[in-house]
Chain A
Amino acid sequence: MTLVTATERPARGAPRAEGGRRPSGHGTWFLVLPALIPILVLSVGPLLYGISLAFTDAQSGRTRATQWIGGLNFRDLLHDTLFWESFRIGLVWAVGVTVPQFLLALGLALLLDQDLKLRWLARALAIIPWAMPEVVVGVMWRLVYNPDAGVLNETLRTLGLGDGRDWLSGLSTALPAVIVVGVWAGMPQTTVTLLAGLQNTPRELHEAAAMDGAGAWRRFRTVTWPALRPVALAITALNFIWNFNSFALVYVLTSGGPGGRTRLPMLFAYEEAFRYGQFGYAAAMGCVMVAVVSLLLALFLVGRLKGGDEA
């Protein structure tokens, strides 16, 4: 989440290094190596290895040597309707979580920026979903959605809205149900980030606009939003990536069921790799996921940045 500030950094952080020392060769290396070696060996290396695996027929527990098969995995993937269905679900999930997450978090951040009582309580509570292990979040919502012992159906019964249903195993309700959990789980981080952005917006401008008789909406449009925009764009882009690649929540809630209705691409690839042992094929899926998400994000960011100049 701190990555969010990346977009703002160059401009504001610029003066810092001026007048500083030149990097002295020896001194820097011994500071850098302890982190650099693990990064190269356990992150950069595996990543490249992973990408190259996508072009092989690597399988688990096989004695025959793996062979280069060129783009065969990708050609198979192209015709793998199950994978593309999973991909579609992944996109629905990622958009379905990211958008409400942003809107709800923005609302909460604006509230927390006001001088309200109980603000401390909201801040404390907003942290809970963030601090919890994802597995516990999944377990917790299973208890909420439980058809008999769950609080959701009981509330519906009390309000006379019918008997409720088995949310997580209904074909039509499973995906919306897990999306709600995704929104809940990711909201705090977004809220805190947006709140930090809000507290950077110039108060004086706000007051000046209020004096000039600008209403709340107008003040938001003309003062708050322009200042918040870089932070909002960055956190939304990151949320989208994180959500698209998420795994644990849905694994615990539905393990991809019912009938694959909540099988996110990560779950699909996980099963392919560690249940069926198709390492090469699963790596190809990973590559496709990165490629498509990067493309979508690039389009989104370019569109947004351009849109900003006209507004």
Chain B
Amino acid sequence: MRTSTSGRVGQYAALLAYLVFLAFPFLWLVSTAFKSPRELGSLHPTWIPRDPTLDNFRQAFDEQPLLRAAGNSLLAALAAAVIAVLIATPLAYVMARHRTRLAKAATGWVVVSQAFPLVLVIIPLFLVLKNLRLINSLVGLVMVYVVWALPFALWMLVGYVRAVPTELEEAAAVDGAGRLRTLVSVTAPLLAPGIVATALFAFITAWNEFFFALVLLKTADKQTLPVVLTHFIGAEGVADLGPLAAAAFLATLPSLVIFAIIQRRITGGMLTGAVKS
């Protein structure tokens, strides 16, 4: 297809506008993180810090228990991702391979669970977890995260399972391999990359999550990074900008790195869900 030169110029101009719109807030965050308090207080802020400093990072760690919070986040996200994938993979397999009523019901649940506002879910969960003495506990949070990550994990995994040809499994069955044996030694290895991608995605989702953590975790020693980040913003909405920016920047890094790794796979997985027949 041919596009005229003026058309090309227009396209590049539009692309540039998008690039600026998408990138500038993040660049400003990074810039603010390296500015000295004096510079932040002065009028006419600049894109490049005049005298870059690491003080904000030091101060951020002094003001709030960031390391502790990062540890909590890591623990909760890791546990949630591993458990979610462990229990979702078998169900996704059934949903992809069999058309039972159960598989249909599971698909229905995946769709419906997206529509409900979290308030309607969190109030009963809060009451249940309170009875189990799991409020202000990472165990309770992980339980909630697992179920919360399931719809998406199921959806991705169903796509990946579909991409594994049934012929391979049938061949294994003909060769006398039992059902479990077939799953473990034929299907699972082929699914492995998809499972890893799903786990990483579940990890990011849990690492970034805020609402459940806000409701369920009461004390600073249990809270996760997103909740602790909001403590930098005072009651009046006045924030200590430098440390806030520094901490926010650090909290984003893990997600960005992981996302960069799995980006291709996620879009790929989405396509297999739609295209592969």
Contacts and interface: CB of A to CB of B under 8 A. Distances in A.
A130 B114 contact: no
Interface in A37-85: 38-39, 42-47, 49-51, 53, 58
A182 interface: no
Contact of A286 (B11, B120, B251, B252): B120
A51 B40 CA distance: 49
Given A28-B94, A133-B207, A128 B26 contact: yes
Contacts of A311: none
Interface string A286-309: 110110011000000000000000
Given A2-B273, A118-B19, A122-B15, 14 more contacts: A4-B270, A5-B270, A13-B276, A20-B166, A35-B91, A39-B150, A46-B125, A135-B230, A139-B248, A143-B25, A143-B244, A143-B245, A193-B270, A289-B119
Contacts of B48: none
Given A43-B121, A46-B124, A149-B40, A131 B255 contact: yes
Interface residues of A, number: 121
Nearest to B33: A143
Which of A200, A207, A274: most chain B Cβ within 10 A? A274
A140 B28 contact: yes
Contacts of B3: 114
B50 interface: no
User: In the complex, which range does the number of interface residues on chain B fall in?
Assistant: 35 or more
Contacts of B29: 136, 139-140, 143
Contacts of A218: none
Nearest to B24: A151
Nearest to A200: B275
B97 interface: yes
- What's the dominant secondary structure at chain A's contact region? helix
A6 B273 CA distance: 8
A161 interface: no
Interface of A: 1-6, 8-9, 12-17, 19-21, 23-24, 27-28, 30-32, 34-36, 38-39, 42-47, 49-51, 53, 58, 104, 107-108, 111, 114, 116, 118-119, 121-137, 139-144, 146, 148-151, 154, 157, 169, 184, 187-188, 192-193, 195-196, 199-200, 206-207, 210, 216, 231, 238, 241-242, 244-245, 247-248, 251-252, 254-255, 257, 265-266, 269-270, 273-274, 279, 282-283, 285-287, 289-290, 293-294
A293 B119 CA distance: 15
14 contacts: A1-B270, A2-B270, A2-B273, A20-B166, A38-B147, A42-B146, A53-B123, A116-B15, A128-B256, A131-B256, A131-B258, A136-B229, A141-B25, A149-B32
Which 3 pairs across A and B sit closest by C-beta, in order of nearness? A286-B120, A131-B259, A5-B274
Nearest to B179: A27
B241 A143 contact: yes
B78 interface: no
Contacts of A122: 15, 18-19, 22
Nearest to B259: A131
B263 interface: yes
Given A16-B162, A39-B109, A293-B115, A133 B25 contact: no
A111 B14 CA distance: 8
Contacts of A137: 25
Which of A45, A122, A128, A146: most chain B Cβ within 10 A? A128
B225 interface: yes
